[in-house]
Amino acid sequence: MHYRNDPKFPEGFLWGASSSAWQVEGGVADGGRSESIIDINSRTKVPFADNSIAADHYHHYLEDVELMAECGFTSYRFSLSWSRIIPAADRKVNPEGIAFYNNLINALLERGITPIVTLYHYDMPVWVKEKCGGWMDRSIIDEFEYYCKVCYENFGDRVKYWLSINEQNMQIIYGYWLGLADSEDWFRDQWKMNHIMNLCHAKAVNLCHEMVEGGLIGPVPGMVPIYPESCRPLDQIAAMNAEEFTEKIWNDTYAYGTYSNFLKKYWEKNDIDPGILPGDMELIASAKIDYFAVNCYRSNVAKDAPLDSEQKAYLLNSTGVKGNFQFPVVPGEYALTRNPFVEYTDWDWEIDPSSLRYTLRYMHDHYHLPMIITENGFGAHESKGADGKVHDDYRINFLRENIYQVGLAIEDGCEVWGYNPWSFTDLLSTGNGIAKRYGLVYIDVTDDELNRAKDASDLSLARIKKDSFYWYSKLIKSNGTDWGEDMSGR
Ligand code: BG6
């Protein structure tokens, strides 16, 4: 659909930004926090900085919240650190961890900013890995349930919007990148792990509904819409295969409470036992989600991959030098390939604002649930200019085009209640330290400086508002009408 007028955002639409604990907080050994697996994993991403200091939000949270208020935020999506809340296997709740999040939540609410809280964003405590073997052992279900209970008990009186597990699909697909794939038979074991994660998600959903008065909860799939390379029928089927294996099988389970026939056939043909025990499917079916929280940055293109094609792993660009990556080929299923119609970032991510509208339409058509955008954004190499400021016109263009597409999806009939791009301040990327910056606010530090510093007190870590901060502020204070330029004909 093309529309003659600019789209309208509903009254009360939540405008904010997004972060996760391990990527923004730093202070990894402060306030009684214990180590998490991602701390160890992030140390392997040299020459980029690990997460010991990150944006030091742990010590700067009040300043950060003040800036959010100045920008005009009405929401902020962040995650809780399990290691900060329950630092050891004795299950003792850490009062300093609870106090930190209470202070953050209260500071947000005092400024009219609605907290949207992720329970788990990639950061498993080391003690959980040691005690339970991580996501691979069913004993984690009790630990995770207990952790959720502690979070709802302590924060559920004020936090009403909850998110269960961030990008479960990406954790399985990129198990090596995120440090989960440490099993000998990952090809099969990933489905066992995925099943256990589904059970944990289900526990989190049910417990939220039981314990949090008026509490709502949803999963956070990482969505990358898949377009077929051509109208060749085989490319269309390949695109459907890629869609199934990268996102749809997860979403179907969250929404319908069952595993799809597509997935069950795949398991059967590949001799995969996901470890389903009596009662599991009833639990999964009982967990009724209230919405989908959608992360979407880009799109992919798929083409047919015959059975005799050469298998290739998906190697993500981990340098920020264009072309330094490899598209996957999965014989008999699909191959991903370049899209000649879009530009690419320095990390070879497709710049495709329509992917957001496509995703919202797709999710709406399949699941008929409300949606909130919990991630979207532009990762770039950045530094201060001679005037001490950061002129990120490329990010303004990206956000403008993407948010416009959200508006169009709303005009198309999708129910979307908020937009929270990645990220508010610069923070650590999953694999590229602070060199890959996403923020509306610049953190005045480099990976080298983070690596050299003994602790955060060695660094200024000054917060500098980028041009995108001012542009976004105008847009959100006008509830999505002040685009900063004429948008007609988009
Ligand atoms: C999302 C994750 O998939 O993408 C975030 O939820 C992540 O944790 C973001 O940071 C951007 O990815 P990257 O690899 O550029 O940090």
Measured CA to CA in angstroms, residue 422 lies from 364, 375, 474 at distances of: 22, 5, 18
Q: At what angle do helices 261-269 and 249-256 cross, to 10 degrees?
A: 130
Query: 3-state class of 268 per DSSP?
Result: helix
Side-chain-side CA neighbours of 183 within 13 Å: the count stands at 17
To test the ligand 1 pocket, which listed residue (430, 436, 438, 447) has its Cβ within 8 A of the most ligand atoms? 430
The Cα–Cα gap between 476 and 334 comes to: 40
Q: Are 17 and 422 in contact (CB under 8 A)?
A: yes
Reply yes or no on whether 229 is catalytic.
Answer: no
| pLDDT tens sequence across 311-322 | 999 998 988 999
| pLDDT tens sequence across 367-376 | 999 999 999 9
Evaluate: CB of 375 within 6 angstroms of ligand 1: yes
Question: DSSP states of 23-74 as a string?
Answer: HH---TTSTT---BHHHHHHTTSTTS--TTTTT-HHHHHHHHHHHHHHHT-S
**pLDDT confidence band for 100 (50 / 70 / 90):** very high
Question: Which listed residue (25, 143, 167, 244) is catalytic?
Answer: 167
The Cα–Cα gap between 185 and 273 comes to: 12
Evaluate: CB of 429 within 6 angstroms of ligand 1: yes
Distance from Cα 348 to the centre of ligand 1, integer Å: 14
Distance from Cα 430 to the centre of ligand 1, integer Å: 6
Over the chain, what is the mean pLDDT?
A: 96
- The overall pTM is greater than 0.75: yes
- Looking at residue 489, what is its pLDDT? 73
Q: Rounded to a whole number, what is the distance in angstroms from the first to the last CA of the chain? A: 11
| pLDDT tens sequence across 168-194 | 999 998 887 777 878 889 999 999 999
Question: DSSP states of 350-409 as a string?
Answer: EE-THHHHHHHHHHHHHH---EEEEE----B-----TTS----HHHHHHHHHHHHHHHHH
Q: Are 289 and 206 in contact (CB under 8 A)?
A: no
**pLDDT confidence band for 487 (50 / 70 / 90):** confident
Reply yes or no on whether 167 is catalytic.
Answer: yes
Query: 3-state class of 217 per DSSP?
Result: strand
The Cα–Cα gap between 64 and 461 comes to: 12
Measured CA to CA in angstroms, residue 358 lies from 235, 372, 462, 480 at distances of: 18, 14, 38, 20
Q: Are 102 and 450 in contact (CB under 8 A)?
A: no
| pLDDT tens sequence across 7-21 | 999 999 999 999 999
| pLDDT tens sequence across 247-269 | 999 999 999 999 999 999 999 99
- Dihedral angle over CA of 471, 19, 316, 434, nearest 10: 80
Counting from 1 in the atom list of ligand 1, the atom nearest the Cα of 347 is: 15
Evaluate: CB of 379 within 6 angstroms of ligand 1: yes
| pLDDT tens sequence across 379-418 | 999 999 999 999 999 999 999 999 999 999 999 999 999 9
Distance from Cα 101 to the centre of ligand 1, integer Å: 22
Cα angle 440, 481, 387; round to 5: 35
| pLDDT tens sequence across 271-286 | 999 999 999 999 999 9
**Percent with pLDDT over 90 in the chain:** 93
